[in-house]
Amino acid sequence: MPDSLARFKKEIQKNIIEWFETTKNNNNDRNDPEEDDYNIDPSLLVIEWDDNAIRNRGIQKNNIIAVIQGFNGCQPLQRNIDTNVGTNNVAPSGSIFIITDTRTADKRQIAEDIVLLLRQMYFQRGTVSMGRVYEVEATRKGFFDVKEFREVF
C-alpha cells in the first residue's frame, strides 16, 4: 500500500486502490497508455466517520450523505465483491464519493463546495468532530495526493 494512504483503514485503502485500477484500465484505450490526463480522471472525497459523535449530536448520517450526493458530479463509490459465482454489487459506499468534472465546475471546485456546505450545516466549535474529510487524487501510478479538510463537522 502507498504510504500516502496509510492514514486510512485497510478497507478504505483497498477500495481506493481498486478504484484507481478500474479508472486507469477504463482510460487505457488512449493512444499512449503511459500518459495520464489527470484533469479528466475523477478524484475521491473520503470521509472517516465518528459514529459515536454523530449519534451524540442527534444527526442522521444518511442525511449528511444525501447532502453530499445532492451535488452534480458527485456519486458514491460502488463497491463490488468477487465471489465464486461472479461479481456482485453491494450497497454504495457511505464513506467514499467519486467526484468528476461537470460543465459548470471542475472536480476540485465541487469538492470545495461540498466541504463548504457541510461546514456551514454541521460545524460546531467546541464539540467533538463527526469525522474527517479527505480529497484523494491519483497523481501517478501507485501514488496518491491526499488533502485533509479541517473543521468540516
pLDDT, average across residues 109-132: 95
pLDDT reported for residue 3: 80
pLDDT reported for residue 14: 86
Beta bridge partners of 144: 138
Helix axis angle, 61-69 to 107-122, nearest 10°: 150
pLDDT, average across residues 43-68: 95
pLDDT, average across residues 121-126: 93
pLDDT at 95 over 70: yes
pLDDT in tens, 5-51: 888 988 888 888 888 877 766 655 555 555 555 444 779 999 999 99
**pLDDT-based confidence at 146, cuts 50/70/90?**
very high
